[in-house]
């Protein structure tokens, strides 16, 4: 399928979903109560921006990823008080080169090392995180920098369509997890980390991710039915893990959101935390299948 056809298919699917969701948010009282429409409205900007950046080529997408990283870094700086010059220097040195390498150089197998280190840093956040440590900003910047670099690698591997597939599946998972959680949820499995997330929300997100994988299957024609189903599950699980990691950091800092850059939806990291881990894992998942 050509890039124009993929872009049209994706825009049509998202247009239908957002329009129907907006209409439902005005009708269903429970969704009104939880301000679902203001949260949904931001996606009317994010999704066209993402699709257009992908459509117009790798440098346009690189600019979008870089701007997203800088906005995320701004949020990380704001939650870490009294940031010193050396912390900025170390943080940007640990993060920015991965974005540049991803754009200018071909992927090499040794890059699994920083990816594994970033995952180790995520585990460190859950086990040994110290809010007062001066290394918090460099660690978080490193995780975000490495995670964002795989957006660029994925775009180069599949030229538009693979990045579109991951973004769409994880975004739909996030939206539907919120809806099903607010409509049907009661039991919260992680009350200390993410008290607003419920079992119903997680199940709704998982099922929605699998369904989204089927809806956007046209973007990954090299995958068969079983592989698309597994990809949906992988993206749902890794996306949920990224979201929990973001929630854990917010709880440690006593925050509701990382910032108010996106209004009622919080900050850039609030929307992209579930995407940071998923992209790298999906990249390696594809490499294993292709080989």
pLDDT in tens, 70-79: 999 999 998 8
- Please report the pLDDT score of residue 270 as a whole number: 86
Joined together, the tokens standing for residue 61 give 């997408």
Backbone angles phi, psi at 197, to 5 degrees: -95, 130
Please check whether residue 144 lies inside any domain of the structure. Answer: yes
Residue 171 domain flag: yes
In a domain, 243, yes or no: yes
What sign has the CA pseudo-torsion 143, 145, 148, 149? Answer: negative
Q: Considering the domain boundaries, does residue 39 fall inside one?
A: no
Residue 52 CA: distances (Å) to CA of 8, 11, 21, 242, 267: 11, 10, 22, 25, 21
Measured between its terminal Cα atoms, the distance across the chain in Å is: 22
Say whether 81 sits in a helix, a strand or coil: coil
Q: Give the count of domains, the chain.
A: 1
Which of 108, 174, 166, 172 lies closest to 286 in space, CA to CA?
Answer: 166
In this predicted structure, what is the pLDDT of residue 185?
A: 67
pLDDT of residue 82: 79
What are the pLDDT digits (tens) for 247-291? 888 888 888 888 888 877 788 888 888 888 899 999 999 888 875
Q: Which residues of the chain have pLDDT under 50?
A: none
Is the Cβ–Cβ distance between 248 and 224 less than 8 Å? no
The number of C-alpha atoms within 13 Å of 208 and in the hemisphere containing its C-beta is 23
Q: Is residue 139 part of a domain?
A: yes
Q: What is the pLDDT of residues 34-58, one digit of tens each?
A: 777 877 888 888 899 999 998 888 9
Residue 202 domain flag:
yes
Does residue 44 sit within a domain?
Answer: no
Supply the range of the domain harboring residue 257: 57-290
| Per-residue confidence (pLDDT) for residue 135, from 0 to 100 | 86
> At 50, which helix (H) or strand (E)?
helix 43-55
Q: What distance in Å separates the CA atoms of residue 28 and residue 224, rounded to the nearest whole number? A: 37
Q: Name the E strands within the chain.
A: none
**Residue 133: inside a domain:** yes
């Amino acid at each position: 399928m050509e890039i124009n056809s993929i872009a049209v298919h994706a825009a049509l699917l998202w247009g239908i979903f957002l329009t129907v969701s907006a209409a439902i948010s005005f009708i269903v009282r429970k969704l009104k109560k939880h301000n679902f429409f203001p949260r949904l409205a931001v996606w009317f900007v994010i999704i066209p921006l993402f699709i257009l950046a992908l459509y117009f080529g790798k440098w346009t997408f690189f600019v979008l990823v870089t701007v997203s990283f800088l906005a995320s870094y701004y949020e990380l700086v704001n939650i870490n008080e009294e940031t010193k010059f050396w912390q900025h220097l170390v943080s940007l040195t640990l993060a920015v080169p991965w974005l540049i390498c991803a754009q200018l150089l071909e992927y090499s197998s040794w890059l699994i090392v920083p990816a594994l280190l970033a995952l180790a840093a995520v585990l460190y956040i859950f086990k040994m995180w110290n809010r007062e440590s001066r290394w918090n900003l460099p660690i978080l910047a490193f995780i975000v920098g490495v995670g964002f670099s795989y957006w660029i690698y994925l775009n180069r591997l599949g030229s538009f369509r693979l990045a579109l597939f991951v973004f769409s599946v994880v975004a739909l998972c996030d939206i539907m997890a919120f809806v099903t959680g607010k409509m049907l949820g009661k039991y919260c499995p992680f009350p200390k980390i993410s008290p607003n997330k419920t079992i119903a929300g997680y199940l709704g997100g998982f099922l929605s991710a699998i369904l989204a994988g089927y809806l956007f299957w046209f973007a990954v024609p090299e995958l068969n039915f079983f592989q698309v189903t597994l990809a949906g599950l992988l993206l749902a699980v890794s996306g949920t893990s990224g979201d929990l990691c973001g929630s854990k950091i917010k709880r440690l800092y006593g925050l509701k959101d990382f910032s108010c850059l996106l209004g009622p939806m919080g900050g850039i990291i609030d929307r992209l935390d579930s995407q940071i881990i998923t992209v790298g894992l999906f990249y390696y998942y594809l490499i294993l299948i292709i080989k």
